Structure 1
Amino acid sequence: MAVLAPVFDAQVFADRRRRFMAELGGAAAVIPASTLVTHHADTEWPFRQNSDFWYLTGLDEPDAVALFLPHRPEGERFVLFVNPREPSAEVWTGRRWGCEGAVDRFGADCAHPRIELDALLPQYLEGAEGIAYRIGSHPLVEPLVLRAWATQLDRAPRTGRAALALVAPCPLLHRMRLRKDPSELERMREACKIAASAHELARAAVRPGMTERQVQALIEQHFLEHGARGAAYSSIVAGGDNACVLHYIDNRDTLQEGDLLLIDAGCSLPDYYNSDITRTFPVGGRFTGEQRELYSLVLAAQEAAIASVHPGQTAEDVHATAVRVMVEGLVDLGLLLGDVDGLIEQGAYRHLYMHRTGHWLGLDVHDVGAYRLGEHHVELEPGMVLTVEPGLYVSDRLAVPEGQPPIDDRWKGIGIRIEDDVAVRDREDVACGHEVLSVDALKAVQAMER
C-alpha cells in the first residue's frame, strides 16, 4: 500500500513569508513554535507544531522562534532561533536540523541557537514600527518580547524611534490561512481520501456485538497504514443513544442490533492538513422506519446546504439552508408544530438540532478565520474549505420547548449526523462553485444498508 512521505516544498513556504511580510508593512513579527507538553512524570505528549509557525516555516521541531523582519534589508528578514545539533540529546529524541538546516533546508536568512534569543532579539527588533506578537500563548518567549519592547520605549526620548504598538499577528496570518492555495487543497483531498476509505472499511465490517472501541481501532489503524500522522481529533464512534452526545469519545459500548452507529473521524497528514467526516448507518444493516425518515431528512438538509456553497454566499447562508430544510421536515414528521419561519426565528428546533452546520477546516480541524467582520458575514471565496454537517439528536437530554409536542418513544435514541468537507471553487473551474473533497465516503440511503 502507498505510504505518504512528508511533503515539503521550500518555495511554498517562501511565498507565504513574502506575502506575510508584505502585510506586516513596517512591523516585525515574532512567531514561536510549540513546546513539548508533559503527559505524566517525564513523558511528553506527542509533539504537535503550532499551526501558524508551521504555515510560515515548515519546521517541525519544538521551542524554535521565527522572526519576520520586513524593516530590515533583503537577506536579513527571516531569522530562525532553533535548538542546535547536539548528539547527546539527539540520541534520546531524534535528529535536529540545527542552525545549518534552518538555513539550508528551511530558507532562513540566518539562524542562531535558541539560547541566544534573549540577547539578540532587541537588535533584530530595532527600527521596527511595531511588534506583531500574540500575547498569552508562549510564557517562555513573551517576557523576552516585552523586555525588548520596553527597552525601545525607554530609549525613545533619546533615539526618537521605537515600536509604538504591540499587535497580534493573528488577523493577518489567519486571513491568509483561510484561503487555501492549490497545493493545500491537494493535501486536503489526500486527507479526505484516506478518511473516506476508512469510513467505507468500517461500515463494511460493523456487525452487532462488536464494540465501539474495535471500530475505532479499525479506522485509526487504516489512517496509520496509509501514511497519516494519525487521527485528526478524538474519533467519535457512537452506537445508539450515545450518538445523541455530540462529543462522545468513550467508545466503549457494545453495538446492538437495531441501533444506528455514528462515526465522526478524520485523519491528519504528516504536514498537518486534516479531514473531518461523519457518517451514520444501521448496525444491523437495515434502517427502521423512524431511522430511515430521520436519516433521509438529515441527508436532504445536508445536500441542500452543500448545494448552497459557492462564492458570494456565507457560512451563515449554508447554515440557514440546512435549518430550513430540517425544520420543514420535522414539521412534516410531527416532531415540531407551527409556522416554519416562526419556529426558525424562535429557535424552537434546537432541542433536536443544537449546533451549527459547519466550520472552517485546514491545518486545524476547527480552522482559523473569521466568520463575520462586525455586522457583516464573511463571504465565501475560492480556496476556503468548510465542513457541512447537519444532524438530528432525539433524546430526553434537552427539554422540549413550550408549545412543542412531547417526543414519542419510537424516535428517542436516534442520533444522526452527516458531514462532508467542501472546498469553495471558482465557478470558472467548477460550475457549481464547490468541490466535495470527501466524496468517496458514500451516504445515500441505499448505500448505508446491506
Structure 2
Amino acid sequence: MVIPQTEFHQRRVRFLEALGGAAAVIPAAPLVRHHADVEYPFRQQSDFWYLTGFDEPGAVALFLPHQSDNPFVLFVEPRDPSAEVWNGFRWGCEGAVEHFGADLAHPRAELASRLADYLQGAEGIAFRVGRDAVVEPLVLQAWGQQLDRAPRTGHAALGLVAPCPILKDMRLRKSPAELERLREAARISAEAHERAREVARPGLSERQIQAVIEQHFLEQGARGPAYGSIVAGGDNACVLHYTRNDAPLRDGDLLLIDAGCSVSDYYNGDITRTFPVNGRFSGEQRALYELVLEAQLAAIASVAPGADAEQVHGAALRVLVEGLLHLGLLNGSVDDLIEQGAYRHLYMHRTGHWLGLDVHDVGAYRLGEHPQPLEPGMVLTVEPGLYVSDRLAVPEGQPQIEERWKGIGIRIEDDVAVTEVGHEVLTASALKAPAAMER
C-alpha cells in the first residue's frame, strides 16, 4: 500500500508549522535530457514528493503559513489532450486540488506573474539556491521587488533561508507507513538477491546476473533499480562503485552484488551479498567472509535508541581490525591501528548511511560536536567490507599482502530500522550465513 494522501497532508501541516513566518518554494524535478530529444525516465525530487505526492515534472509547490486560507498552492502543467497523446496523462489544476490536496492550483506558466503576490507578507523565503536554474531567478526577482517596495510598504521578507534543515529532520524519522514501504522495497530486493545466487555459475557474465536481479524488480512492480546495480566478480569487487558489469564470472572467484529496488513511491532497498561463483569458498575467502559477517553482526547488534552511527561503525571496525591482525594482514595494536587509520588500504569506507526516499538519504550524522543519537523510526544501512588489492599502497610498517589474498572483495549490507527496544533488520530474508552462500 502506497503512502496515503492523509499522511502527505500531515507532513505539510508539520512543515508549515516549522516554517514559522517564512514562505517556502519547493520545485519539482525537471525532465533531464538523455540524448537528442530523448529524456531519462522521470524521477521526482524527493523533498517535493515527500510534501506533495505529486509525480509530474516541472511543478512548483508554495507553502504559505502567512496565508491561512490558502497555505498550499501548486503550479502544474494544465490538462492538454495534444500533449497527453505524446507523453501521457496529466492531473492538471483540477486534479492538483481534488486528488493532491492543494488549496489552489495554477498553470505552471503563471508562476512568474503570480509568485511575488503569494510571497508578499512572508517574513522570509525558504528556497534552496543553486539547484533550479529556472525557478531561482523568479524567487530572487520576487524578493527583489519586495525589497524595492519596502521603504513605501514597510514590509519585505528579511532574507532567504534554506528549507533543507526542516525537511532533513522530518525525513530522517520514518512513519509507520514509510517503514512499510521500506519493508516492501527490502522484500523485493532480498528476493532478487536470492534469485541471483540460485542462477550464478562460472561462464555466465556479470550482466546476465544483473538482468536476473532487475527483471525481478520489475516483475514485482518496482520502478526498477534504486541505483546502478553493482555485480562484481573477482577483483572487480575491490572497486567500490563498479557498474560496468560486463566481465565473465570465473570459477574460483567471489561475486559481490550490491543492488536494491525503488518501489512505486520511491522508497528504496539497498542490499549487498557476496558468495562464491562455483558454490564453494576457498580457505582465504571463507576466512575474510566470516570476518566481515562477524563485524556486520556486531554492528547491527549495536543499533538501538540512544546509540549513534559512530558507535555502529566503531563496532564493525574493531572486529575487522582484530580479525585482520589475527590473519596477519595487519600488525600492531588494535587501538593504534584504528587511531592511525592503518587499516584503510583494506577497509576504506564507513559502515553505513541513512536510507529512505534517497538511497543515501538526508539527515544529519552529527549535531555540532556530538553524533546524532539513533531514534525509533530512523533507518540505516550496515555494510562493512574488506577489499584486498594492489590499488592502494600498504601503509609503512604494515605487512605486504600475499598473492593468495589479492582479488578478494567482500561486503555484506543490510537495511536496519531503529525500534523502541532495539532494531529490525528489514532485509533479513536475504541469507548471509556462510553455509547458505555455498551449494
Provide the TM-score with structure 2 as the length reference: 0.99
Alignment match, 1:206: 200
1:128 aligns with 2:117: no
1:90-109 map, 5 Å = 90-109=84-103
How far apart, in 1, do the equivalents of 2:24 and 2:370 lie? 29
Runs of 4+ residues deviating >6 angstroms? none
Q: Deviations over 1:198-217 (max 9, x none)?
A: 00011011111010000000
How far apart, in 2, do the equivalents of 1:267 and 1:226 lie? 10
Alignment match, 2:144: 150
Alignment match, 1:331: 325
Query: How far does residue 376 in structure 1 lie from its aligned partner after superposition?
Result: 1.1
How far apart, in 2, do the equivalents of 1:414 and 1:358 lie? 21
1:443 aligns with 2:432: yes
Gap regions ≥5 residues in structure 2: none
Provide the TM-score with structure 1 as the length reference: 0.97
Query: How far does residue 149 in structure 1 lie from its aligned partner after superposition?
Result: 0.3
1:175 to 169, 172, 181: 169
How far apart, in 1, do the equivalents of 2:235 and 2:3 lie? 44
Query: How far does residue 8 in structure 1 lie from its aligned partner after superposition?
Result: 4.7
1:426 to 413, 420, 423: 420
How far apart, in 2, do the equivalents of 1:423 and 1:307 lie? 12
1:12 to 4, 7, 10: 7
Gap regions ≥5 residues in structure 1: 428-432
DSSP-derived class of the 1:184 partner? helix
1:36 to 23, 31, 35: 31
Alignment match, 2:313: 319
DSSP-derived class of the 1:448 partner? coil
How far apart, in 1, do the equivalents of 2:117 and 2:398 lie? 67
CA contact (8 A) 2:3 2:177 kept: no
Query: How far does residue 150 in structure 1 lie from its aligned partner after superposition?
Result: 0.5
Q: Deviations over 1:356-411 (max 9, x none)?
A: 00000000000001111221111111111000000000000000000000000000
Alignment match, 1:49: 44
The CA RMSD over aligned residues, in Å, is 0.6
Amino acid corresponding to residue 38 of structure 1 in structure 2: R
Alignment match, 2:386: 392
How far apart, in 2, do the equivalents of 1:124 and 1:181 lie? 31
Alignment match, 2:262: 268
Work out the number of aligned pairs and report it: 439
1:223 to 210, 217, 221: 217
Amino acid corresponding to residue 438 of structure 1 in structure 2: T
How far apart, in 2, do the equivalents of 1:178 and 1:9 lie? 19
Amino acid corresponding to residue 12 of structure 2 in structure 1: R
DSSP-derived class of the 1:142 partner? helix
What is the aligned-residue identity percentage? 74
How far apart, in 2, do the equivalents of 1:399 and 1:413 lie? 15
DSSP-derived class of the 2:75 partner? strand
DSSP-derived class of the 2:288 partner? helix
Query: How far does residue 71 in structure 1 lie from its aligned partner after superposition?
Result: 0.8
Q: Deviations over 1:308-329 (max 9, x none)?
A: 0001111111001100000000
DSSP-derived class of the 1:115 partner? helix
